[in-house]
Structure 1
Amino acid sequence: MHRPIGIFDSGVGGTSIWKEIKKMLPHEDTIYLADSANAPYGEKSKEEILQLSIKNTEFLLEQNCKLIVVACNTATTNAIDYLRVNYNIPFIGIEPAIKPAALHTKTKKVGVLATKGTLSSSLFHNTSKLFAEGITVVEQEGKGLVELIETGQTNSVVTRGLLLSFLRPMLDQNIDCLVLGCTHYPYLIPLLKDILPAHITLIDSGEAVARQTKAILEKNNLLNATNHKGKAIFYSNKGIEVLRNLVEDSDAHIAYLDF
């Protein structure tokens, strides 16, 4: 079906998910909405997150999207149940990859770096309870990281200092897996690899989300049957330069949207 996949996030972080989707589904058109003017969602109330998620969803529906990926952990954990009930379209959500971390850990200690909005959600706690029995989950709020990534500071002195302050207590508890519980955080992987001991495994949700997106498109007969490279359109309601640098696709259309 020649209609686009819609993707939204509180900002530029969900482009880490978009890249995995494009890798797995290169013939699909995509429309990405970065609500950077309202980032980070993790500091907002559940009601605010829900209203922003509704606004983003309705914009993507106006663009005739056939499926929507909520490429934001905080929006998923606080709004996706409502979206699935109230809109007649498939939704793919993002949640911290507790299950693979629990299966992989040898020390039985797993770190989760996420926003306040994700860590305080019932979905996060239910997921932890379901998949992490017998595992110690060491939670750490990544306060300030989203704002730094939104301004392109993925390798700055300030970002390094913040990460060190967040990681030390987790390392002191002997974690051997670190779950990146926010779609912005994969952009910190080069810095994390430089900081962390070599035995720490980094786990994020990108590839799993792309697989789920493909599976749902197949199940609903929504796959694009053409062999052409899919078109990619990006909208942001704040400066687009950081978005342009992260996308790294010369064919992509990137535009400011007063939204």
Structure 2
Amino acid sequence: MTNSNPIGLFDSGIGGTSIWQEIHNLLPNENTIYLADSKNAPYGQKSKEEIIDLSFKNTEFLLNHNAKMIVVACNTATTNAIKELREKFKIPFIGIEPAIKPAANNSKTQTIGILATKGTLNSELFNKNVEKFHETTIIEQVGFNLVKLIENGEMYSEEMTSLLQQYLTPMIQANIDYLVLGCSHYPYLIPQIKKILPPNVKIIDSGQAVAKQTLKVLEDKIGLNNELKSSNLFYTNSNPKVLQNILQNKYVVTQKDF
């Protein structure tokens, strides 16, 4: 079964490109269209209703560009809006959630840390997942201002280093052996996080799992693109330079108000 329509992805900004990269690595022939709603970042500080409204708007944009499926490449949007998206739109959606299960199941110290947005940590879906692992001590930390700094191109600023040290130090003191990154922006901070964490602490994000699930849904329900050359389109409603920098200037980024 062949279907050359693009895979649509959206995020509150540039962070979901970490998910896009994993999907592109696994499925290089697939056409993709990525939407960065940077004008409204971060989603983590918004109400559930606002997040649902923005997710609907982003979905409609991608459907207008013939997306065959949509990857919600944002933890906050997934945990607050995936149910409503699936009810409203008759298209397959793949969400992204903090990878608590592999961390909790493999932890030797029975203590893991989760760095995520306020919107994710306060969501009903996230808290339902946490309840399944009551034998594991889970240290939750809101990554206040991390997304904002990344979106502003201040990933390696002194403020970023200071905030990461502030957020991670209590986890280190509590003897975590896994750190779960609960925001698609945060994988871009892994090099800096590794400098702060002890070498025995493993870092987990959801990118590869989302890519594998995308492949499975395409094979089972939709169809793969069999063309040898893929088209990868990127849209943002903010300054395109930050997104272009993250993509290492390999792709054209179109600025569009939506």
TM bracket, shorter-chain basis: over 0.9
2:244–2:252 contact (8 Å) kept in structure 1: no
Partner of 2:220: 219
Partner of 1:125: 127
Partner of 1:148: 149
CA RMSD of aligned residues (A): 0.9
Partner of 1:233: 233
1:96–1:181 contact (8 Å) kept in structure 2: yes
Partner of 2:243: 243
Q: CA deviation at 1:169?
A: 1.2
Partner of 2:62: 60
Runs of 4+, deviation exceeding 3 Å: none
2:177–2:200 contact (8 Å) kept in structure 1: yes
Partner of 1:254: 253
2:68–2:222 contact (8 Å) kept in structure 1: no
2:229 alignment partner, SS class: coil
Unaligned runs of 5+ in 2: none
1:52-81 CA-to-partner distances (Å, cap 9, x unmatched) read: 000000000000000000000000000000
Aligned partner of 1:238: which letter?
A: S
Correspondences of 1:162-173 after superposition (within 5 Å): 162-173=163-174
1:66–1:222 contact (8 Å) kept in structure 2: no
1:217-241 CA-to-partner distances (Å, cap 9, x unmatched) read: 0001421122x23111000000011
1:13–1:183 contact (8 Å) kept in structure 2: yes
Aligned partner of 1:213: which letter?
A: T
Partner of 2:35: 33
Correspondences of 1:11-160 after superposition (within 5 Å): 11-130=13-132, 132-160=133-161
Partner of 2:211: 210
1:220 alignment partner, SS class: helix
1:123 alignment partner, SS class: helix
Q: Provide the rounded CA distance (Å) in 2 between the counterparts of 1:23 and 1:249.
A: 17
TM-score between both structures, scaled by the size of structure 1: 0.97
Partner of 1:201: 202
1:95-127 CA-to-partner distances (Å, cap 9, x unmatched) read: 000011012211000000000000000110111
Count of paired positions: 256
Aligned partner of 2:118: which letter?
A: K
Aligned partner of 2:216: which letter?
A: A
1:40-60 CA-to-partner distances (Å, cap 9, x unmatched) read: 000000000000000000000
Taking only the aligned residue pairs, the percentage that are identical comes to 57
Q: Provide the rounded CA distance (Å) in 2 between the counterparts of 1:154 and 1:105.
A: 29
Q: Provide the rounded CA distance (Å) in 1 between the counterparts of 2:222 and 2:150.
A: 36
Partner of 1:187: 188
> Are 1:175 and 2:176 matched, yes or no?
yes
Q: Provide the rounded CA distance (Å) in 1 between the counterparts of 2:249 and 2:112.
A: 35
